Structure 1
């Protein structure tokens, strides 16, 4: 009996030591996010990953990315992205535990992963410093970097970086390049229906296209528009106008899966 207890103690101690080493290494290798306070990132880990991915396929990926400062991003566009991706962004501390709980419950009920719960802060951490690969170590690094971003940067700066680094299509990063490539406009010239369609592609930007109709794009676009009205980020007249524009867009294009 004593021998079994000793073995268990050694086993638990070994596991604890490995976990401590695991966490310690993750903390030791954390990036210095303070440079982001007043310096815009010239590239991201995610961009470099996509370029390497293309090289391995014998291709050269042309990157479209132009920075746009906070003050030139329309308020409605900021709000559209936030309600689409992370409605609690301004109040959580990097992790939305309510969304995590809801996602875990829904995925358990479905028996597969049907939704995630990554916040804008987590997505920013991933885009800047990590890759799409999913494993325990990467999730730990994402969590730690997210907490660093939240403690060193204010919410406005995190959102500004996110809006300039988020993947929005094949080689397209940030809302300025996306607005120009998809609509031939500066973000300040977009109407609400166009903003909504841009936000709608974010969960799957390499499959969805804001100018190519699909059932998923239609559903997400209308959901986002309804959220904008629910939170009173747009007026009733703006809502009706955008709703009509979306209706015309989807009616004039055959809604088929890509």
Structure 2
């Protein structure tokens, strides 16, 4: 007499539809948390964004390499620090990692265009994306970015967040971090960047690969002048 196989019970469906995805989500968040905890006093090395860009570069040039050199916070010009805060996140020293007003404005612009074109990201959010996430734009990715952002703000002080950001942010094709950028564009160390040089580098950040190839655009010059005027009021962590 053959035994008949029982149909999967309700518990099996609950396990696969709900419990397993939740467990995977929690495991991923724990991984992010442990990584951030380690990076409080260790260098991150390459980021997810760097590895993604290197792979793209090597599709056309297998010998392509990234240029990056970690330098401590005190060896990066205060001009560059002030310029980036003035250009990217004027309230960096005061907010909890997210500028909700900027996010609301970005959401309204995206709604008008029926696609995600603006992020309203703070420096901490940009760091969260660079460390762990892809460059794709979606509300799901934005949600994960917010979770990582609050982990960063919980485990690190503003100075450490900014130090890591300054060392991993993209400044051009294959060029990452303040030291590599200063040497790539001006042939000087990051510690010696002047106000005008720093302002120009900060303005390049939203689209660094484009401005690496187009260094004399009128917009770049106009925006650099604006950031120069704002740098004096930028608060450093």
User: Normalising by structure 1, what TM-score?
Assistant: 0.75
* Residue of 134, 138, 141 corresponding to 1:135: 138
Structure having greater relative contact order (Cα 8 Å, sep ≥ 6): 2
**CA deviation profile, 1:107-132 (whole Å, cap 9, x unmatched):** 44566656430111111111111111
Is 2:168 the counterpart of 1:165? yes
Is 2:34 the counterpart of 1:59? no
**CA deviation profile, 1:193-242 (whole Å, cap 9, x unmatched):** 1001010100000001398210221232122112224x277xxxxxxxxx
- Describe the shift of the 1:210–1:89 C-alpha distance in structure 2 as closer, same or farther (beyond 3 A): farther
Residue 25 (structure 2) aligns with? 26
Q: What value does the CA root-mean-square deviation take over the aligned residues?
A: 2.4
Residue 147 (structure 2) aligns with? 144
**What are the residue-to-residue correspondences of 1:27-176 with 2, within 5 Å?**
27-30=26-29, 31=32, 32=34, 33-109=36-112, 115-176=118-179
**CA deviation profile, 1:39-64 (whole Å, cap 9, x unmatched):** 01121111111111123335332211
The answer as to whether partners of 2:200 and 2:220 remain within 8 angstroms in 1 is: yes
The answer as to whether partners of 1:45 and 1:127 remain within 8 angstroms in 2 is: yes
- Describe the shift of the 1:86–1:58 C-alpha distance in structure 2 as closer, same or farther (beyond 3 A): same
In structure 2, what is the Cα distance between the partners aligned to 1:69 and 1:37? 13
In structure 1, what is the Cα distance between the partners aligned to 2:84 and 2:21? 35
Give structure 1 stretches of 5+ with no counterpart: 1-13, 234-258
Shift of 1:92: 1.1
- Describe the shift of the 1:223–1:25 C-alpha distance in structure 2 as closer, same or farther (beyond 3 A): farther
